């Protein structure tokens, strides 16, 4: 086992990793930017090191600074959390070169996961269902028009190196495609540093369902069931739950087998997710591999009792998988709401500032993963996620009721958050019945706006 781990992240995920290190008897080193000098995780870590000014490019994304901090602190491993450098192949390789264990998948896994075109080709060869798409990167609008005609509209233009919904454009016809193609290329270049695009068929009324996988260095791979991630805004997840309210046991088994086949096809190691789209006929298609711990991992922890961060560390240290999905499957339903510092009534405008009043919900069936505290100044430089509120119960209906009660108790003033939106969603009959697709939030917000007029 490792003696000291540097946590190359911030916010709630840094705090989550540091707490797990303490439970495992492993020392932790927290890094922080000047903007995060008062962050909660710094007081819990064994050591802390400032790695630069507020902009992420000069701190949390600066590979040289992070490696230097890890070496100075005499760490033997680095945990990247999610976001920032978590899926950066160059960072994983640099850790390897510097004698540091990267707590995550291999550099080769990261390369394949980041290359959507190659990943899709590998999945086809492995017999995993894939969405109809072009065979390679598309260089010009003219080539795109020919390909779209073959695939059939609507189509999605996607960044080959993208993730988190960035670089995606949905086009209903050729006119829209020709307008969006250059915009998608510019966004792909700006956010991923890679202008390459590919085009795939747009699945109508899709659900976004992902399977959590764990894999050791000895070829053993398991899945820990699925997470329903369909409730999204601009391709960014807002509400996740496990299990999905619509999967039959037969479909769950087939998708789980496909997820394991996908992981085996790329010799995957450590924790990750295989993401699928499910259409209205319950046909499913591989979408991508997420080669890191996911924001929404707590719902899987609640329904399996498995500490996924602890498993990441164990697997990176060379330990074997010790159980199967059947060993850990619990009769529990769990829901997570991402509490963002955003104003839903102002098109989700970011809402940074000082938290003057802070009261968290409690009681049976509630978990709160956050780095907030009263007096904390939410920076404007970083992602707006400030808390993950998780409920769990023996039934989905019970988990919804607990979540509604917990949202009602939660106070973060005067910061505008997504809490009021989630309170309304928990009362919505479409959500409660499980009848929704990825367009749910846009339709829900629009309908509420119309009702208020």
pLDDT band at 450 (very low <50, low <70, confident <90, very high): low
Q: What pLDDT is stored for residue 161 in this prediction?
A: 73
Per-residue pLDDT averaged across 229-249, rounded? Answer: 94
| Contact residues for 427 (Cβ-Cβ < 8 A; gap 6+) | 404
Residue indicated by tokens 């945990």: 79
| Domain extents in the chain | 4-103, 132-201, 207-452
Confidence check: pLDDT of 164 > 60: no
Q: Give the CATH number of domain 4-103.
A: 3.40.50.20
Confidence check: pLDDT of 34 > 70: yes
| Contact residues for 233 (Cβ-Cβ < 8 A; gap 6+) | 348, 441, 442
Q: Give the CATH number of domain 132-201.
A: 3.30.1490.20
Q: What pLDDT is stored for residue 168 in this prediction?
A: 83
Confidence check: pLDDT of 192 > 80: no
Q: Tokens standing for 413? A: 């003033």
Q: What pLDDT is stored for residue 453 in this prediction?
A: 53
For the ranges 114-118, 203-207, 234-238, which has the lowest average pLDDT?
114-118
Question: Phi first, then psi: what are they for 373, rounded to 5°?
Answer: -160, 160
| Neighbour-count burial for 182-199, b at 16+ CB within 10 Å, e otherwise | eebbebbeeebebbbbbb
Catalytically annotated residues: 292
Q: What pLDDT is stored for residue 442 in this prediction?
A: 87
In angstroms, the CA 406 to CA 398 distance is 12
Q: What pLDDT is stored for residue 427 in this prediction?
A: 96
Rounded CA Rg of the chain: 21
The helix (run of H) or strand (run of E) holding residue 198 is strand 197-201
Per-residue pLDDT averaged across 37-53, rounded? Answer: 96
Q: What pLDDT is stored for residue 24 in this prediction?
A: 97
The string of pLDDT tens digits covering residues 279-327 is 988 999 999 999 999 999 999 999 999 999 999 999 999 999 988 888 8
For the ranges 88-102, 161-175, 230-244, 400-414, which has the lowest average pLDDT?
161-175
Q: What pLDDT is stored for residue 302 in this prediction?
A: 97
In angstroms, the CA 241 to CA 333 distance is 7
- Judge contact between 141 and 176, C-beta under 8 A: no
Confidence check: pLDDT of 209 > 80: yes
Confidence check: pLDDT of 451 > 90: no
CATH class held by domain 207-452 = alpha beta
Cα atoms found within 13 Å of the Cα of residue 18, Cβ hemisphere only: 26
Q: What pLDDT is stored for residue 204 in this prediction?
A: 84
- Judge contact between 184 and 168, C-beta under 8 A: yes
Compute CA distances 435 → 235, 367, 430, 439, whole Å: 18, 26, 5, 11
The string of pLDDT tens digits covering residues 322-354 is 888 888 888 999 999 999 999 998 889 999 999
| Ranges assigned E (strand) in 40-131 | 47-52, 77-79, 101-102
pLDDT band at 80 (very low <50, low <70, confident <90, very high): very high
């Amino acid at each position: 086992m490792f003696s000291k781990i540097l946590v190359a992240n911030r916010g709630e995920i840094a705090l989550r990793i540091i707490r797990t290190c303490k439970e495992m008897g492993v020392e932790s080193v927290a890094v922080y930017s000047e903007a995060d000098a008062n962050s909660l995780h710094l007081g819990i870590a064994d050591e802390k090191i400032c790695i630069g000014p507020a902009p992420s490019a000069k701190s949390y994304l600066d590979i040289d600074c992070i490696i230097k901090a890890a070496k100075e602190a005499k760490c033997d491993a680095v945990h990247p959390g999610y976001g920032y450098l978590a899926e950066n192949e160059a960072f994983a390789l640099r850790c390897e070169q510097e004698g540091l264990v990267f707590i995550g998948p291999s550099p080769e896994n990261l390369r394949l996961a980041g290359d959507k075109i190659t990943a899709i080709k590998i999945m086809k060869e492995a017999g995993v269902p894939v969405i109809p798409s072009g065979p390679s990167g598309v260089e010009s609008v003219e080539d795109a028009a020919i390909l779209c005609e073959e695939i059939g509209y609507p189509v999605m233009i996607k960044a080959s190196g993208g993730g988190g919904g960035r670089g995606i454009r949905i086009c209903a016809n050729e006119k829209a495609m020709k307008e969006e193609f250059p915009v998608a290329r510019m966004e792909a270049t700006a956010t991923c540093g890679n202008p390459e695009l590919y085009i795939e068929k747009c699945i109508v009324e899709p659900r976004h369902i992902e399977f959590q996988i764990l894999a050791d260095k000895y070829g053993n791979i398991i899945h820990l069931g699925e997470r329903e991630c369909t409730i999204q805004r601009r391709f960014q997840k807002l509400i996740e739950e496990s299990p999905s309210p619509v999967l039959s046991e037969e479909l769950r088994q087939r998708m789980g087998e496909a997820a394991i086949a996908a992981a085996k096809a790329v010799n995957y190691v450590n924790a990750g997710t295989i993401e699928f789209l499910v259409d209205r006929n319950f046909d499913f298609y591989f979408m991508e591999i997420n080669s890191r711990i996911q924001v929404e991992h707590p719902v899987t922890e609640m329904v399996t009792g498995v500490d996924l961060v602890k498993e990441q560390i164990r697997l990176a240290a060379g330990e074997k998988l010790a159980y199967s999905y059947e060993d850990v499957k619990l009769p529990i339903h769990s829901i997570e709401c991402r509490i963002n510092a955003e104003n839903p009534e102002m098109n989700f405008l970011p809402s940074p500032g000082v938290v003057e009043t802070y009261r968290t919900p409690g009681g049976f069936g509630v978990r709160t993963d956050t780095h907030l505290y009263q007096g904390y100044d939410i920076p404007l430089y970083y992602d707006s996620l400030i808390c993950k509120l998780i409920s769990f119960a023996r039934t989905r209906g019970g988990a919804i009721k607990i979540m509604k009660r917990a949202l009602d108790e939660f106070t973060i003033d005067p910061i505008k958050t997504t809490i009021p939106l989630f309170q309304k969603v928990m009362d919505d009959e479409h959500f409660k019945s499980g009848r929704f697709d990825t367009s749910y939030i846009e339709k829900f917000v629009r309908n509420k706006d119309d009702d208020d007029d």
